[in-house]
Chain A
Amino acid sequence: MQNSDILILNDQNLPPDLGLPPAEDIDAELLDNETMGDRIKTMLRKNKLAAASFVVIVLMCLAAAFAPFLTPYEPNKTSLKDRLAPPSREHILGCDELGRDHFTRLLYGTRVSVMIGLFPTSVAMIIGTVLGLFAGFYGGKIDFVIMRLADVVLAFPSLLLAMVVSYTLKGGIISIFLALAAVKWARTARVIRAQTLSMKEKEFVEAARSLGVKKSTIMFRHILPNCLPNLIVLLTLNIPESILDEASLSFLGIGAQPPSTSWGLMVFRCKPFLFEYPWLAIAPGVAILVFVLAFNFLGDGVRDALDPYLKD
């Protein structure tokens, strides 16, 4: 790649004495007037995998929204003659044990995953953000109580706690919503608290304080916007996790309940036919993998792009 008469040095990672940041950070350094949006756009242009993932996510969300227009079948319409029908022109992925079109159910299942990805995650993050802000800003007893509570929640394996909460609430989509929200707020609270603590020491917050700006204004107008990169990064971690957790809970039979469709539930219901009709159990799993992987690839890219904002 390099000119052969130019000597390429083999040892890297030594910070040079320049008016510039250490060399390996140059890629990670902000250019003048670069916003978060710009950086994410640049990342999408360069990172093909992330861009493709973004497209996949958008397509799958569209599929969820327009499911009725993409398939001639009803998701819950049973048809005895089509029981366990193999894939054919009419039924791309065949039919399940009740003769329902598998592809149609997969499409509708996307709705559950998209909703699970968005709602409980958002609720958990809003709760976590508010608690984190309060804990960091007020300190003292409030901080102690909130943070110990977060410690306790984080001490659980999240799936197990979600299982117990979901069990207590007797299953169903709503209980999954609540279970995931109850589990996921803690990490957000911790990150936002740390960010708030460092922001509290910044000059502009000190200045606002000395001017007598209301505490709530300082918290939500001055500190919160500076937590945005952290929140975006947390979102990229939480969404795929929530989707996977929902699938797992539904697979265990304590999540989505029939007749509603969820990918995890579909795998569970098709498990007994694994050896004779493998596509039934495999297809929803592929859907989960693709959707979650797309979120993770995109998230990975976003984390890289926002890295300079997360440094302090």
Chain B
Amino acid sequence: MMTNLAAGRAADRIMDMAADTAAEAQEMLAITDLKTHFFTQKGVVPAVDGVSIRIPEKQVMGIVGESGCGKSVTAMSILQLVSRPGRIVGGSIMLDGEELVGKSVKEMRNIRGNKVSVIFQEPMTSLNPVYTVGRQVSEAITVHRQVGKQEARQQVVEMFKAVGIPEAERRFNSFPHQLSGGLRQRVMIAMAMVCQPKLMIADEPTTALDVTIEAQILHLMRRLEEKSNTSIMLITHNMGVVAEICDFVYVMYAGKVMEQAPVFELFDHTKHPYTKGLLNSIPKPTEEKQRLYNIKGMVPNLLRLPKGCRFSPRCEYAMPECREREPELYDCGKNHKVRCFLYQKDQGGGADE
């Protein structure tokens, strides 16, 4: 379905896909049954409700879903930067064999920006307006490494060059407001990569940028990922971005993973009705005129989750069973799992359509 978008990458990716299954042992990140809840006045909001995610070394893993589905909270849980009144109430987060849940504030500080770094959606507001960008990136080095000011500056300029900031020397002394959105996002990427982290979380990194800049930034991220040992966790609501850069995709809805599969498998054999809806709601260049599909209804209020499958009220295929109990993640083979009763029977077998 989306193969035309990603066709260029098809050949070299097939190898990786084969490797995927074998690579389970060297996971860079393994989140297991993570629960992050928000304790509000109106009740408990299960923003992340038992999510398990695995990212092998040197891979770009996508998390897709509408806003409010818990993507960002999952990411922030890794860094333990979930805002009050939210907290992790259960589960485990293993980073390169190291358990993060339960780490002290001090230990977490040593991990943030060092082993796990983040790029945020809004490059406009994510940089401190009163300091030069150079200073802000150097800070990421000096806080984690014992290096002098001059050396840090040198590294930052190198990094600026690596992320394609023209006139890197001069830009070091620029203030954020003097840079364009694309350049600011490059600065953010430089900040995220400068300590060579094991994992870089990119939270909607291109949403605020226009399309040509988006392509450049994605290309840059892909290139950096290939050159370094960093895995990338890309959070987006944009299936096009997923097709562009991801190796493996998790589709989240209302705090739960609905479907997970290698990227080509997901696009070619889409299973979950929600994923289908997401894919159908992107415009296709091949068709002249069409009404864009949209998924009926809205993301449910997490305080009043429907009984049974969370997606059932909006689902075209909903069966009586769906409103009764929650489906599990059913394994459909080829590393493809779906949380939908429609595929219950495919469990274990290699289901072809």
Contact = CB atoms under 8 A, between A and B. Distances in A.
Q: Is B a genuine binding partner of A?
A: yes
Interface of A: 6-20, 22-24, 26-27, 31
Given A7-B102, A11-B81, A14-B81, A23 B299 contact: no
Given A17-B68, A18-B47, A19-B67, A9 B86 contact: yes
Contacts of B301: 19
Interface stretch (B34-42, B192-200, B309-317, B345-353): B34-42
B86 A31 contact: no
B76 interface: yes
Interface string B27-56: 000000000001011100101000000000
Given A7-B102, A19-B302, A23-B38, A13 B84 contact: yes
Given A7-B102, A19-B68, A20-B38, A14 B83 contact: yes
Interface string B59-80: 0000000011111110010001
11 contacts: A9-B80, A9-B82, A9-B84, A14-B81, A16-B47, A16-B82, A17-B69, A18-B47, A20-B68, A23-B38, A26-B85
B98 to A, nearest CB: 16
Nearest to A7: B88
Given A17-B70, A18-B68, A23 B85 contact: yes
A7 to B, nearest CB: 5
Contacts of A31: 42
A16 B73 contact: yes
A23 B37 CA distance: 11
A13 B301 CA distance: 22
B32 to A, nearest CB: 15
A16 B299 contact: no
B105 interface: yes
Given A16-B38, A18-B38, A20-B45, A10 B105 contact: yes
Contacts, number: 80
Contacts of B203: 17
Given A14-B76, A17-B73, A9 B87 contact: yes
> Chain A binding site: helix, strand, loop or mixed by DSSP?
loop
Most chain B CB within a 10 A radius of its CB, from A14, A16, A20, A26? A16
A123 B264 CA distance: 72
Size bracket, chain B contacts: 20 to 34
Contacts of B70: 17-18
Contact of B84 (A18, A20, A24): A24
B89 interface: yes
Contacts of B101: 7
A31 B303 CA distance: 14
Given A23-B38, A24-B83, A16 B72 contact: yes
Contacts of A17: 47, 67-73, 203
Contacts of A10: 80, 105
A31 to B, nearest CB: 7
A18 B45 contact: yes
B40 A20 contact: yes
Interface string B113-146: 0000000000000000000000000000000000
Contact of B73 (A7, A18, A24): A18
Given A12-B83, A20-B45, 20 more contacts: A7-B89, A9-B82, A9-B88, A11-B83, A14-B81, A14-B82, A16-B38, A16-B47, A17-B70, A17-B203, A18-B38, A18-B45, A18-B73, A19-B67, A20-B302, A23-B40, A23-B84, A24-B83, A24-B84, A26-B40
B71 A11 contact: no
A16 to B, nearest CB: 5
Contacts of B84: 9, 12-13, 23-24
Given A16-B73, A18-B47, A26-B40, A6 B83 contact: no
A31 B40 CA distance: 12
Nearest to B235: A17
B299 A19 contact: yes
A310 to B, nearest CB: 20
Which of B42, B80, B84 has the most C-beta atoms of chain A within 10 angstroms of its own C-beta? B84
Which of A23, A24, A27 is most buried by chain B, counting CB atoms within 10 A of its CB? A23
A19 B82 CA distance: 15
Contacts of B85: 23, 26
The 5 closest A-B pairs by CB, nearest first: A17-B72, A19-B68, A12-B84, A14-B83, A23-B83
